[in-house]
């Protein structure tokens, strides 16, 4: 085996051997510290009682969920900035269990639904160090009913999932 002297005067192995060893240790570290799963929105639902409406957003935070945030936007603006009067506001973030899975949930609460709410885009965002997922929804009107009760349209406007790239 051919050895070269390094700057300090000690013998150093060939470069290819060093590359193989570094690659081997990186594989060991990858197995010891697996990449966290990106969070994912699993469900949204609507409940209505009189003029009050609640849209719930549930998400699988991935693993671990310690640094996961779930929040709502309206037309790309934070709810509390768009509705400082509190007519539309977010409920508390809470942990729920569904079918043996630990999920996070945050509700968007409408104290009174107004005509302008039908033109707005409401986005549920779940964010963690492992990635982001979001779903944008619009309120729709039920046809054939004189009261035109608002509900979510059958299809979501858009859904985008982003994951951080691995090194």
What CATH number is given to the structural domain containing 155?
2.60.40.10
Average pLDDT over residues 54-70: 85
Do 23 and 44 belong to one domain? Answer: no
Question: DSSP E strands: which ranges in 22-130?
Answer: 40-49, 52-60, 69-74, 77-78, 88-90, 94-98, 101-110, 122-128
Looking at the fold, whether 30 and 44 belong to one and the same domain comes out as: no
The total number of structural domains in the chain stands at 2
- Report how far residue 40's alpha carbon sits from residue 134's, in angstroms, rounded to the nearest whole number: 8
Q: What distance in Å separates the CA atoms of residue 109 and residue 83, rounded to the nearest whole number?
A: 11
Q: What is the pLDDT of residue 67?
A: 81
pLDDT at residue 35 greater than cutoff 90:
no
Residues 23 and 89 in one domain: no
Provide the domain limits for residue 15: 1-34
CA distance linking residue 98 with residue 91, whole number of Å: 19
Could you give the CA distance from residue 101 to residue 71 in angstroms, rounded to a whole number? Answer: 20
Q: Above 70 in pLDDT, residue 153?
A: no
Strand-by-strand arrangement of the 69-74 sheet: 77-78, 69-74, 122-128, 131-137, 158-163
pLDDT 10s digits, 66-114: 788 999 999 999 999 999 999 999 999 999 988 888 899 999 999 999 9
Q: Are residues 91 and 143 in the same domain?
A: yes
Supply φ then ψ for residue 117, to 5 degrees. -65, -25
- The answer to whether residues 21 and 74 belong to one domain is no
Do residues 22 and 93 share a domain? no
Same domain, 75 and 98: yes
Domain co-membership, 53 together with 21: no
159 plus 93 within the same structural domain? yes
The C-alpha atoms of residue 21 and residue 77 are separated, in whole angstroms, by: 49
pLDDT value for 24: 55
């Amino acid at each position: 085996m051919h050895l070269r002297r390094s700057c300090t005067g000690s013998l150093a192995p060939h470069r290819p051997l060093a590359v193989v060893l570094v690659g081997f240790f990186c594989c060991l570290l990858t197995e010891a510290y697996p990449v966290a799963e990106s969070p994912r929105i699993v469900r949204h639902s609507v409940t209505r009682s009189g003029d009050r409406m609640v849209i719930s957003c549930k998400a699988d935070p991935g693993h671990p969920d310690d640094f996961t945030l779930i929040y709502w936007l309206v037309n790309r603006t934070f709810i509390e900035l768009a509705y400082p009067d509190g007519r539309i506001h977010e409920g508390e973030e809470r942990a729920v269990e569904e079918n043996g899975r630990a999920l996070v949930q945050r509700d968007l609460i409408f104290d009174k639904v107004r005509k302008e709410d039908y033109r707005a885009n409401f986005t549920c965002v779940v964010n963690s160090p492992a990635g982001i997922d979001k779903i944008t929804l619009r309120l729709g009107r039920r046809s054939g009913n004189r009261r035109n009760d608002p509900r979510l349209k059958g299809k979501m406007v858009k859904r985008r999932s982003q994951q951080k790239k691995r090194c």
